[in-house]
Chain A
Amino acid sequence: MKLKLTSMALAGALAGVMAAAPAMAELVFPSLSYRTGPYAANGIPFADGYADYMTLLNERDGGIGEEPVRLLECETGYNTQKGVECYEATKGEGALVYQPLSTGITYQLIPKATADGIPVHSMGYGRTSAANGKVFEWVFNYPANYWDGASIAVKHLLDVNSGDLNGKKIALVYHNSAYGKEPIRTLEELSKKHGFELSLVPVDHPGQEQKSQWLQIRRERPDYVVMWGWGVMNQVAVQEAANIRFPMENFIGVWWSGSETDVLPAGDAANGYKALALANPGGDYAIYEDLDKFVYSTGKAAGAGDQWKTVGYNRGLYAAMLAAEAAKEAQKIHSTKALTPAQMRDGMEALEMTEDRMAGLGMANFGPEFKVTCENHGGSGVGKVAQWDASAKEWKLISDWIESDKDVIQPLIDEDSAAYAAESNITERCN
């Protein structure tokens, strides 16, 4: 009891110090990052990209609409408990939007943030049915979601097989968590529609040990393997696939399983591995000149500063850019510079990304064109397919934007979001 009291007193004194921090008029963007643990390999580039874009806005434009941006970084270690702690610690500081880069934490935040009135943007992850804005007022997952991803992967396989997957076997290797289980429902529907046989191969957290899973794949000989992996699981899976000599071009990862760090450890054996792309890879964009000029050459880069131009870093840039653009929209709608989370939400709902807009930001053709509406929080739901070139050590895009099969996905979204609405007593909006 004594210890409890002293630690409470100590922590209380600290909380006092923290609360005394000056509350200036600035735009606060929390970054629930993970630079430690088995998912750090993917968490670091994203966090660096996110932070560098915000730094660039401050250095080049003096913030968003001349309102300085403050980035609040909080380490979650991809752990939901720490994620909750980070959320509680940062929400009081005027956090405008949460992008936790973790499906588990997103599930955790959806009810909490909805109750607190703070938007959550789970870009290409999180709860898929959050695409239904009628039910999920505060949650956004544009530009595409997991079920789009599953459908895009299958469409790519249809293209490869000239439109016929009948009798083919597809194995899904997935992280045995809410994240990995997301695509199962869609893939089951698609297997009925296209006549392929689906087998499920779960990999438990953190995924360093996958010998038995790949033995199973070797025994079952699926024609294609689709993977929903993250963190160290990706690297191990690519290596194991190489070990059993599974043809790499028949192995497709979702957009979270397709960065440089995932394939480099396997060396040349990873050549030909495919992954979906949410935003374009590579560093051939005008924004990199600005980043070099304002962030890198001035030594303000986040982290070790060695991640730029990687897929994960681009993803972080993209997430930050979408947040910043939504903030601009919000400033325009409410004709104010300082924003509240509720105004930010309005901005996100009015966001429209066009080719011109992205070009104007130095990110021409970086991501898909999409428009967020009251009903549709999920964006256009398109993705590209990229293939790893081990000799050049780069991801090459091998398709244009592929549209997902909305006929299959939309009923599933409606069904799942209706279940959530019933569970949480939500009445539909936008009518």
Chain B
Amino acid sequence: MLYREAGDFKTSYAEDSQTFPIRFDRYRYYAVLAIAVAVVPFVINDYWANAVLVPFLIWSIAAIGLNILTGYCGQVSLGTGGFMAVGAYSVYKLMTAFPDVSIFFHVIGAGLVTAAVGLLFGLPSLRIKGFYLAVATLAAQFFLVWLFNKVPWFYNYSASGQINAPERTVFGIEVTGPNTEAWAAYLFCLTFVIILGVIARNLTRGTLGRKWMAIRDMDIAAEIIGVNPLRAKLSAFAISSFFIGVAGALFFAVYLGAVEVGEAFGINQSFLVLFMIIIGGLGSIFGSFAGAAFMVLMPVLLKNVMVGGLGWDTALAAHTEFVIVGALIVVFLIMEPHGLAQLWRLAKEKLRLWPFPY
């Protein structure tokens, strides 16, 4: 009915190759953007920002980052937590070293530092593949966490080894520190999500993305048709790490405000992001958002239903939550191994024909 391309004529190449070629899709995208930018900030409160939306946005960035590396370029990484830590600690060092610069640039700078570190740890990917590469990135995870625990310079010699985000502003509005308004933190993260989302989407359907996918699908064939594996793999590592670094910086500075590397950026976080992209859909930007929503929002939702709605005992609810989320993951992977993005794709195919399928 609504969702179809009949009558939606394209008269230029640019129109034909746009991200959302179907008009309805495009309007839906604009509507989501409009609501996210113009409506949500006015109704958001502390709980919604700090417990739901800000973590969702930040994890989405991290998931997009890992999806570039794993989903598009086929390089499995278990070092996401460690790279997020690099982002967090570099933004902390930048924030404390240059207090007068806008935090926006610090976050970008943290992304760049992480990209450099990612590049370094991406070098082994030229020689080793698959599980072996996963183990090599696992080493990065443990090494980076150990480093930030061990070297006091990274946490400015504080007694507890914690880093605390000082108050920093963008255009005079606080976005880090305890006095931040919910909407400011939300909009700050949303800005990054929108910019990085658009960048990622366009990278992945341009030359670079096609090179990544060629490497992912068969690296020898890709090399024969003229893809330079060194540049393709390293660019995937660098760009992926940039995204993850930005996510780590926001995670520390905007969301938590104080972190301890072992807990906030441990191996669990690496797995969490990996699960996000596997459940959301490898090689899909939408899948990164869907996966992040599933892994971050589902537990909060279940907790609110069971404890807030049904009045269950908190321990019982926490255990049931593990069971339900675990079961859902298994069910999703059995029913749709290509993730939520594939479900969405199928739904769109069906919608095109509805209500008269042939």
Residues of A within 8 A of B (CB): 1-5, 7, 10-11, 14-15, 17-18, 33, 35-36, 40, 44, 73-75, 77, 79-81, 84-85, 88-89, 91-92, 103-104, 107-108, 111-112, 114-116, 127-128, 176-178, 181-182, 184-185, 202, 204-205, 303, 416, 423-425
Contacts and interface: CB of A to CB of B under 8 A. Distances in A.
B257 A5 contact: no
B315 A17 contact: no
B337 interface: no
Given A81-B264, A85-B300, A178-B160, 11 more contacts: A2-B347, A4-B289, A11-B52, A14-B301, A40-B315, A73-B314, A80-B256, A107-B258, A111-B257, A112-B257, A177-B262
A80 B260 contact: yes
Given A111-B177, A111-B257, A181-B159, A3 B263 contact: no
14 contacts: A1-B32, A10-B301, A11-B301, A15-B47, A17-B308, A88-B50, A92-B46, A104-B260, A112-B178, A115-B179, A178-B160, A178-B162, A182-B160, A423-B164
B47 A89 contact: yes
B305 interface: yes
B344 interface: yes
Contacts of B45: 92
Given A11-B304, A14-B308, A107 B164 contact: yes
B229 interface: no
A185 B159 contact: yes
Contacts of A116: 178
B256 A84 contact: yes
A73 B340 CA distance: 34
Contacts of B340: 3
A125 B178 CA distance: 21
Main secondary structure of the interface of A (DSSP, over half): helix
Given A3-B293, A112-B178, A423-B166, A75 B317 contact: yes
A111 to B, nearest CB: 4
Given A18-B308, A178-B160, A74 B314 contact: yes
A116 B56 CA distance: 23
B309 interface: yes
B52 to A, nearest CB: 7
A416 B159 contact: yes
What are the nearest 9 A-B pairs in CB distance? A35-B315, A111-B178, A115-B178, A178-B160, A75-B314, A85-B51, A88-B47, A36-B318, A75-B318
Contacts of B258: 80, 107-108, 111
Nearest to B56: A4
Interface string B277-307: 0000000001001100110011011011101
Contacts of A77: 318
Contacts of A91: 46
Contacts of B318: 35-36, 75, 77
B272 to A, nearest CB: 11
A189 to B, nearest CB: 12
A177 B166 CA distance: 20
A44 B262 CA distance: 24
Contact of A104 (B263, B294, B347): B263
A416 B159 CA distance: 8
B149 interface: yes
Kindly name the residue among B55, B149, B178 whose own CB sees the greatest number of chain A CB atoms within 10 A: B178
B286 A7 contact: no
Nearest to A79: B263
Given A7-B301, A88-B47, A36 B263 contact: no
Contact of B256 (A17, A81, A423): A81
A424 B166 contact: yes
A85 B50 contact: yes
A103 B319 CA distance: 24
Interface centre among A4, A85, A89, A103 (most CB of B within 10 A): A4
A35 B320 CA distance: 13
B161 interface: yes
Nearest to B51: A85
A35 B312 CA distance: 13
Contacts of B305: 14
A85 B263 CA distance: 16
Given A36-B315, A115-B179, A178 B260 contact: yes
Interface string B34-75: 000000000001111011100110000000000000000000
Contact of B50 (A3, A4, A84, A202): A84
A43 B258 CA distance: 22
Nearest to B347: A2
Contacts of A103: 160
Contact of B51 (A3, A84, A108, A178): A84
Contacts of B257: 108, 111-112
Interface string B155-168: 00001111010110
Nearest to A304: B315
A211 to B, nearest CB: 17
A150 B257 CA distance: 28
B309 A17 contact: yes
A205 B32 contact: no
B266 interface: yes
Contacts of A79: 263
Nearest to A1: B32
A416 B156 CA distance: 13
A10 B294 CA distance: 13
A92 B311 CA distance: 18
Nearest to B49: A88
Contact of B262 (A5, A18, A176, A416): A176
B78 interface: no
A168 to B, nearest CB: 24
Contacts of A7: 293, 297-298, 301
Nearest to A6: B293
Contacts of B347: 2
Contacts of A177: 161, 260, 262-263
A127 B162 CA distance: 11
B172 to A, nearest CB: 16
Contacts of A18: 304, 308-309
Nearest to A106: B258
A48 to B, nearest CB: 11
B66 to A, nearest CB: 19
B115 interface: no
B105 interface: no
B28 interface: yes
B354 to A, nearest CB: 15
Contacts of B300: 11, 85
A5 B304 contact: no
